[in-house]
Chain A
Amino acid sequence: MTALAIPVVRRAVPFAAVICLLVVLTAILAPWIAPYDPNAIDPLNAYAPFSAAHPLGTDDLGRDLLSRLIHGSRTSLAGPLIVVVAAGTIGATLAITAAWFGGWFDALMSRALDVLFAFPGLVLAITVAALFGSGFITPVVALSVAFVPVIARVMRAAALRERNLPYIEALRVQGFGAWRICLRHLVPNLAPLLMVQAAIGFGYAMIDLASISFLGLGLQPPAADWGLMIANGQPSILAGFPQQSVTAAVAVVITVVAFTAVAERLATRFGGDVR
């Protein structure tokens, strides 16, 4: 059951696509559209309410929340993007090699991926971050590794199906080598499915990375990052100023829902079993 089974969600897909576009543009243009420096402290103005000067108010140090939210979109999008690009590249490469060579190589690769798949990605990433230190890179790398089997399993099944189609044999009959057939025919023909996989993975990666930041194992203060903002806003909730946590959480939820809705629409468009 996908979210698209809900009629409202299905009709909202174009709207979701616009949101995705806006979020991406925000991240790219952050320095130019943010009204303030996200790290500019103004203690006299702490916990400012909604106003024309500060549309979302300010946090405990008087930093403009809208500016922090806008700048936070950068790491919040870049993290998942790196994860799906890295996991997609590695996963697709492993999948196609396994499907192409088959036999014991395929069996070994598949079992290895199953073992990796058995680890929940988030737990793996948290463990690695705890061991090797927090920051931006460590959780992203760990999560990329955790996402490889997710993508590789789907891609392997598709590559196996594609590899057994007669046109691939016809290419072999024409004397083309494995390398060339894979790069020029298999990869381009599997690319749509890979894109869909990456798009769906993006939403999951975003939540996972936000969770890691929330737990304090990702980016460290004073970085503006949505997961970190949710965590750092907690004491303020008790103080009666929930804006920081709420706005950052809403940003995460809206972005994830929008990206996933678009991804699932792409999945139905390009057909096939995507999970």
Chain B
Amino acid sequence: MTLLQFDRLTVAVSGRPVLRRVTLDVAAGEAVGLVGESGSGKSMTVRSVMRLLPAGATVGGTVRFDGADVGALDAAGLRRMRSRDVAMVFQDPRAVVNPVRTVGDFLTEVLRDQGTGRSEATRRAAAALSEVGVGDAMRRLQQRPYELSGGLLQRVVIAAALLTGPRLILADEPTTALDTTTQEEVVAILAEQRRLRGTTLMFITHDLELAAAVCDRIAVMYAGEIVEILPAARLHSDARHPYTRALLGSRPGAVAPGERLRTVPGVPQSALTAPPGCVFADRCPHAEARCRDVRPVFTGSAACHLLEVL
């Protein structure tokens, strides 16, 4: 069953294109990774699910959550979706928690708002903290955000996201602001908990390996478009699009130790500056004349003229 459906989603902010014809179906219980360079539209895609677009954004196409067009929801419907069905985990946990309230206040606020009693809400918050591996939960509930490390606080944020039993979790680079050593732990907890509950996940990251480890499928974005979608397990063997391959080739693990790291030549394009034909044409080692002039249609698993050849 499809829980989340992007159908030719096109977003422009004050006339400048940001997303172009993003089409993606996410099945219930599935984890989909969105991968791409900065400015490729990953965050915007995910934010459009919550209708969190910047002021002055114009939207074409649709985003459907559980069959309902998100763009057509009224205020009450939008609030209901935000509070009950979809949870979001942001990049920097420090920024998204009210700095002067306790962890307990933060965790219980939604439950209390939905009519749960104080002691029951506290009990559930403590249980949620234990589930994400935060020990000494009752004491943590009394603490304030600045008393917790970034990794611990991100676990608190994840606990809050899981607490209301959402059907979809949107994780926007949840580990970018954390130390490298705590990143893996935090991601592992998020992945494990959502697997246990069968929650659908959209996971944004720069890190292909991480996406492959956490997700079932990976969608690669470039310049506001999805250029390739493939199963995470076959990321290395089946990647066809030159951009995906270039990304794979520029991983630190792709070269022998001591060698110079490979990069994708050229400068990342945004949806605004992308060439008229294939968005990747100016950086693609295989580009032909038609790549520069004719926009490739997304067929099978990727949008590339040379799919059969490569």
Most buried by A among B81, B92, B97: B97
Q: Which parts of A215-239 form the interface with B (CB within 8 Å)? A: none
Say whether B118 faces chain A, with CB atoms less than 8 Å apart: no
- Beta-carbon contact of A167 and B95 below 8 Å: yes
Within 8 Å CB of B78, what residues of A? 175
Within 8 Å CB of A180, what residues of B? 113
- Beta-carbon contact of A185 and B81 below 8 Å: no
Against B, the Cβ 8 Å flags (1 = close, 0 = not) of A181-196 are 0001100110000000
Stretch at the interface among B25-33, B83-91, B188-196: B83-91
Within 8 Å CB of B100, what residues of A? 188-189
Q: How many A residues touch B, CB cutoff 8 Å?
A: 17
- Beta-carbon contact of B80 and A175 below 8 Å: yes
- Beta-carbon contact of B84 and A175 below 8 Å: yes
Most buried by A among B78, B80, B83: B83
Within 8 Å CB of B101, what residues of A? 185, 188
Say whether A6 faces chain B, with CB atoms less than 8 Å apart: no
B88 CB contact (under 8 Å) in A173, A177, A185: A173
A167 CB contact (under 8 Å) in B52, B81, B83, B98: B98
Say whether B110 faces chain A, with CB atoms less than 8 Å apart: yes
- The complex places the Cα of A165 from the Cα of B98 at a distance, in Å, of 9
With A165-B95, A188-B100, A189-B98 as contacts: A170 and B88 at CB distance below 8 Å? yes
- The complex places the Cα of A165 from the Cα of B78 at a distance, in Å, of 21
Q: How many B residues touch A, CB cutoff 8 Å?
A: 23
Within 8 Å CB of B158, what residues of A? none
- Beta-carbon contact of A166 and B83 below 8 Å: no
- Beta-carbon contact of A172 and B82 below 8 Å: yes
With A174-B110, A176-B113 as contacts: A167 and B82 at CB distance below 8 Å? no
Within 8 Å CB of B87, what residues of A? 174
With A180-B113, A188-B100 as contacts: A174 and B95 at CB distance below 8 Å? no
- Beta-carbon contact of B79 and A166 below 8 Å: no
- The complex places the Cα of A173 from the Cα of B46 at a distance, in Å, of 12
- The complex places the Cα of A166 from the Cα of B94 at a distance, in Å, of 9
- The complex places the Cα of A62 from the Cα of B76 at a distance, in Å, of 72
Residues of A within 8 A of B (CB): 165-167, 169-177, 180, 184-185, 188-189
30 A-B pairs in the complex with CB atoms less than 8 angstroms apart: A165-B95, A166-B90, A166-B92, A167-B95, A167-B96, A169-B52, A169-B96, A171-B98, A172-B52, A172-B82, A173-B52, A173-B88, A174-B82, A174-B83, A174-B109, A174-B110, A175-B80, A175-B82, A175-B83, A175-B110, A176-B83, A176-B110, A177-B79, A180-B113, A184-B109, A185-B101, A188-B100, A188-B101, A189-B98, A189-B100
